[in-house]
Each structure stands twice: as structure tokens, then as C-alpha cells.
Amino acid sequence: MIVLKFGGTSVGNATNIKKVANIVNAYQESKIVVLSAVSGTTNSLVNINNLLAEHKKEEAILLTNELELTYHTLIDGLFSSEYYQLKALTFIRNSFDYLRSLTNNGVENEKIILAQGEIISTNLFQIYQAQLGNESKLISALDFMSIDEHGEPDMKNIQNKLNTILNQESNHNTYITQGYICKNNVEEIDNLKRGGSDYTASLIGAAIKASEIQIWTDIDGMHNNDPRFVENTFSIDEITFDEAAELAYFGAKILHPQSIIPAQKNNIPVLLKNTFNPNDKGTIIKNCENSKGVRAIAAKDNIIAIKIKSYRMLMAYGFLKNIFEVFEKYQTAIDMITTSEIAVSLTIDDATYLKKITEELQVFGNVEVDKQMSIICLAGNFSQSGKGISASVINCLKDIPIRMISYGGSNYNMSLLVITDDKVNALNLLNEGLFVQKQLQEV
């Protein structure tokens, strides 16, 4: 079996949903189709919930009505048969009546409200498949996708429940289910956090030991550099799980970072494809050969660098532990770390508790904070055997001030911290030095 996941833009309007159906129906083998909510819907649902939290019930209802209207346009474009059009309209009417009824209880229904986006997109897709004359089975993610008390996927449970459902309903070729939504350890509706549909696809792939997980978005796979800031980037044919994980975390927005883990653990290839250019090969993430040097570059903004300097750190133990405890207390993840004998620099991307963190760190030494920084992540093969790669990276950036360098944490990553104003320049210089020049030499 294969898993095909389509993001919000891929199901964003009638034309796109038709493209999705074409792609899905071209696969003969049995498959599970995972859908995101129609693009914009989850944001609207978040806004509706925020309005309820501010006791602005009327405005919440107005926004709900507005959102309902967008589905009328979608249904108009999608259904040619009156029978199926009516079916879809009735479904939408009921869904939105339900949403409006939820607004009576303030914010206590947040997770239920957020879940409606995926419930709607999957139901509309199934009705559309029926109009096309294609048999398919809608299975509710709420019946098998579960998280534990820490909010982490409960893999055993997911595996048992999903395989039981598939065994009971074994006579179908196409199963459709929702991304993102799940039940928590007390059986309430919950979710895998924003952007979590990729994670759903990967968890399903792992649970059924799929032969492949396909993630369909609106770009041709992973690029060697950020196409928004660098010209002539190209999509990468293949990349290892480790390299992809580094990139996904450090800004290559194409894939939810956690979604690589279940696929990697089960050695299931993940194929990244473009719904709007299905003939492009895309990028395959799998156990492949390590790259010869740098495979790809990505950047992540809104990084805060914190430096703690203290002569007490000199030859002392326990200093880092004390510092890390502050971050643990405020549940703030550290991304990069570099140390010298008398100072440590680290970065965070979540500023929620910055003030409290810096106050507490002052106990340990002199604290400096730099905001508006960007991490530039280079993924590739940095193992000891590869000579000269780090030198060429640094050489590319000889005219750009580098605030931190992290190298050797894994064999697959080198990260550099620069001020965000220098980011675009740095990405272009790296592209020129690491890809363009190299290609010229190879010709």
C-alpha cells in the first residue's frame, strides 16, 4: 500500500481538487489518501476560536458564515451532477450548522472547531470521487490516530486500530482520511499541531508498513537552495533521511520536521511531489548514498542569539547544566550551541519567555542578546573523510560577518548564524561557490 498526502493548496479550490483526483486515480495499487484542510480554512477556524475567546460571538458567527460561502463556490466548480452537488451542499450546511452550535460554549470546543477543516475536505473529496464513479472508503482519523499524555503519537495504538479497520474494510482500493486531527489520551478530539498533516501521513505509512509515502505540495520537491531568494535553484533528486531532517527543521518549509522520523525508523521512502507539475520527478528521501559535499541549503529567520560570559566557567563543571536548566524550566528549545572556555552562545526561535530566561541567566554571568538573526543550514556529507568542504563554505562567506558556527554535531549538517540582513546575500554567495562554480568545473 502507498500513502498519498495532499496539502491545503492542493485541495484549495475545485480546479485543484480535480487535479488531486487525477493523481490519486492514476495509481492502481491500494492506497490511503490523507488530506489537509482547504487552504485558509484552518486559519479561519483559529480566528473563529480567538473571537470566541474574546467573547465576540457575533463576529465569530459572521466569520463562520463567510467561510461557509467559500465552500459554495468550491462546490459550484466541483460538481456537475445535481445529485452530488446537493449531497455536498447538505454536508456543508450540516457542518456549518454544527460549527455555529459550537460557538455557544466559548473556547472549550477549540480542538473540535479546528478539526472541522479536515473533516470537510475529506468528505467533499469522497463525494467528488463518487461523482467520478470511483469507489472509495472514508475512514475517520479520529478512530485510529491517537496521542499520549505528552501529546506524542501513540504508535502501538495507531497501528492496532488502523490495521483492524483496514482488515474489516479490506475490499477497498482507495481509503481517504484526515490529516492533522486525532484523539488524545482521554479520548477527546485533538490535533498534531499546525502543519501536522505530513506527520499523519508518515505515521500512517509506518503503521501499515507502506511501500512509499508521497507528500504532494505546490513545489517541485526540495531545492538545493531557497528559490524565494536565490535564482536558478534546482530540485534535488534524492536525499538521505538525516539530511532531509536537518533541512526540514532549519527552514525548508516543504515538510513538517517530525514527519521524517516514523518513515526513517521503518525505512519507508518519502517522495515529495508537486500537484501542479506531476511530471516532475520531485525529491525522494530514502536511504541513499551520502552526497559528495553540500546537498542543500536552507535558512531560518527570527532567531535569537544569547551569549552568557563568565570567568567562573573557566575549568568549572556544571556550568552548562545550570544554563540548560533555565531553558528547560521555560520549555524553550535550543537550536545551536557554541562554547568557548569562558562563554557560551546559543540560539532559540521562541521568544515567549525571553525576558524571564535572560533575567535568570544573569545569575551565571554577563548576558548579551542579539535578535533578528538567521540560521543558515547546510545539509550534506560533512564526515571527516571529506576534506575542504568547510573551508569552501567559509571562503564563500568571507565578506559576511558570521556570529556563530556549528559543525560536527552530526555528519550531515553545518549551521551558521548571521544577521538576517545578510541572509539573502549569504545564500547567494553559497549558491555561487558551492553549486554554480562546481557545475562549471564539472562541464
> Under the rule (CB under 6 A), what is the footprint of ligand ASP?
7-8, 36-37, 42, 117, 179-180, 194-197
Which residues 6+ apart lie within 8 Å of 44 measured at CB?
63, 66, 67
| Residue placing its CB nearer to ligand ASP in the complex, 197 or 233 | 197
> Closest separation between CB of residue 104 and Mg ion, Å?
31
CA distance 46 to 355: 27
Say how many C-beta atoms besides its own lie within 10 A of residue 205's C-beta: 27
| Residue placing its CB nearer to Mg ion in the complex, 39 or 103 | 39
> Closest separation between CB of residue 315 and Mg ion, Å?
47
| Residue placing its CB nearer to ligand ASP in the complex, 197 or 225 | 197
Residue by residue, DSSP assigns 164-219 as HHHHHTTT-SEEEEESSEEE-TTS-EEES-TTTHHHHHHHHHHHHT-SEEEEEESS
Query: Of 153, 206, 201, 211, nearest to 175 (Cα)?
Result: 201
CA distance 124 to 5: 16
CA distance 46 to 61: 13
CA distance 220 to 218: 7
CA distance 375 to 396: 16
| Residue placing its CB nearer to ligand ASP in the complex, 195 or 269 | 195
| Residue placing its CB nearer to ligand ASP in the complex, 42 or 345 | 42
Of 5-13, 66-74, 77-85, 400-408, the window that binds Mg ion (rule: CB under 5 A) is 5-13
| Residue placing its CB nearer to ligand ASP in the complex, 8 or 257 | 8
| Contact call for residue 196 and Mg ion (CB under 5 A) | no
Residue 71 interaction partner, one of Mg ion, ligand ASP, none, beta carbon < 5-8 Å per kind: none
* Helices assigned H by DSSP within 274-336: 319-329
> Closest separation between CB of residue 282 and ligand ASP, Å?
18
Site string for Mg ion, 329-358 (x = CB under 5 A): ------------------------------
> Closest separation between CB of residue 7 and ligand ASP, Å?
6
Count interface residues toward Mg ion (CB under 5 A).
2
Of 6-14, 95-103, 201-209, 262-270, the window that binds Mg ion (rule: CB under 5 A) is 6-14
- Which cell numbers hold the place of 243? 539530511
Residue 194 interaction partner, one of Mg ion, ligand ASP, none, beta carbon < 5-8 Å per kind: ligand ASP
Q: Which of 12, 195, 257, 262 binds Mg ion (CB under 5 A)?
A: 195
User: Is the CB of residue 397 less than 8 Å from the CB of residue 412?
Assistant: no
> Closest separation between CB of residue 198 and ligand ASP, Å?
6
If DSSP codes are grouped into helix, strand and coil, which group holds residue 379? Answer: strand
Q: Residue holding cell 551565571?
A: 364
| Contact call for residue 7 and Mg ion (CB under 5 A) | yes
Site residues (vs Mg ion, CB under 5 A): 7, 195
